[in-house]
């Protein structure tokens, strides 16, 4: 990633250094929205959404934190005694993690997970990071790779949103077009903007529960349960399909 593309990470690093920081999410159809930003990425455990708080009771053993951002999940899990490896493709995000005290944070894409990282007992993908699976084909490839990097009784804890109940016309139009064209409802192509920084375009996925079950077909994982909230956010607990 070139420095001028690291919009997401630079916003977090600026916030850490006391600057006013935010992020803009641009969708490939020209739609813009204000992203979650530092309010989410730096939130202490007490301010997390309830499903993500509850998900922490399922964490076991050695942990891989995918899309570690500003390190909120890694720092919490370190604090309760877990060994955590955090990965993010944003160099500025990883620098933020290290400055905040994450012991092992690495600049690495989800596509580049390899055996040298060792074996993990839990994979966490909070903050909507189940969306990093991208689409059906890429998602199944990544899930298969994660199976090879995890122990036999490993879990994936992944947060996502089901937007199909939305009445926002811009969201309805987008997921309806996806379904008409044979894609998953929440498949999207987005990029992040912050000040003069602009990321590359990337695929990001939001899934209904049924779509998640379908995505898992043919992979080494199955849906054990979902931890629900009172709106669109949920955390999926995935276990190895024996």
Mean pLDDT value of segment 68-80: 98
Q: Assign domain 3-15+24-29+49-240 to a CATH class.
A: alpha beta
Please give the mean pLDDT across all residues of the chain: 95
Q: Is the dihedral of CA 79, 96, 100, 35 positive or negative?
A: negative
pLDDT of residue 34: 94
Query: What pLDDT, on a 0 to 100 scale, did the predictor assign at position 2?
Result: 83
Domain boundaries defined on the chain: 3-15+24-29+49-240
Residue 90 confidence (pLDDT): 97
User: Does the structure show a pLDDT above 90 at 190?
Assistant: yes
Q: How confident is the model at residue 3 (pLDDT cuts 50, 70, 90)?
A: confident
> What's the whole-number mean pLDDT along residues 202-224?
96
List the one residue out of 161, 154, 134, 171 whose CA is nearest residue 51: 161
pTM of the entire predicted model: 0.95
> Tens digit of pLDDT for each residue in 49-64?
999 999 999 999 999 9
Mean pLDDT of 196-220: 96
| Residue 114 binned pLDDT confidence (cut-offs 50, 70, 90) | confident
Lowest average pLDDT, out of 26-40, 67-81, 122-136, goes to 26-40
- pLDDT tops 90 at residue 116: no
Average pLDDT, stretch 83-109?
98
Burial readout 109-130 (b: 16 or more C-beta within 10 A, e: otherwise): ebeebeeebeebbbbbbbbbbb
pLDDT at 230: 85
Mean pLDDT of 196-201: 97
Residue 1 predicted with pLDDT over 90: no
Average pLDDT over residues 5-27: 97
């Amino acid at each position: 990633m070139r420095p001028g593309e690291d919009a997401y990470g630079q916003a977090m690093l600026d916030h850490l250094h006391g600057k006013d920081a935010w992020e803009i999410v641009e969708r490939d159809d020209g739609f813009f929205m204000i992203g979650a930003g530092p309010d989410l990425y730096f939130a202490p455990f007490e301010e997390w959404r309830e499903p993500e708080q509850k998900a922490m009771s399922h964490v076991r053993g050695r942990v891989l934190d995918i899309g570690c951002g500003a390190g909120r999940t890694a720092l919490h899990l370190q604090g309760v005694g877990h060994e955590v490896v955090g990965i993010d493709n944003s160099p500025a995000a990883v620098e933020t993690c290290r400055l905040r005290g994450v012991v092992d944070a690495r600049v690495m894409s989800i596509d580049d997970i390899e055996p040298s990282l060792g074996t993990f007992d839990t994979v966490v993908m909070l903050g909507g990071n189940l969306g990093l699976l991208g689409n059906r084909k890429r998602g199944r490839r990544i899930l298969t790779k994660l199976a090879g990097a995890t122990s036999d009784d490993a879990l994936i804890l992944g947060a996502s949103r089901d937007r199909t109940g939305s009445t926002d016309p811009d969201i309805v139009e987008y997921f309806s077009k996806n379904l008409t064209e044979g894609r998953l409802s929440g498949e999207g192509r987005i990029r992040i903007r912050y000040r003069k920084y602009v990321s590359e375009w990337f695929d990001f996925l939001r899934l209904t529960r049924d779509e998640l079950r379908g995505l898992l077909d043919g992979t080494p994982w199955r849906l054990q349960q979902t931890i629900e909230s009172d709106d669109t956010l949920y955390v999926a607990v995935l276990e190895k399909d024996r």
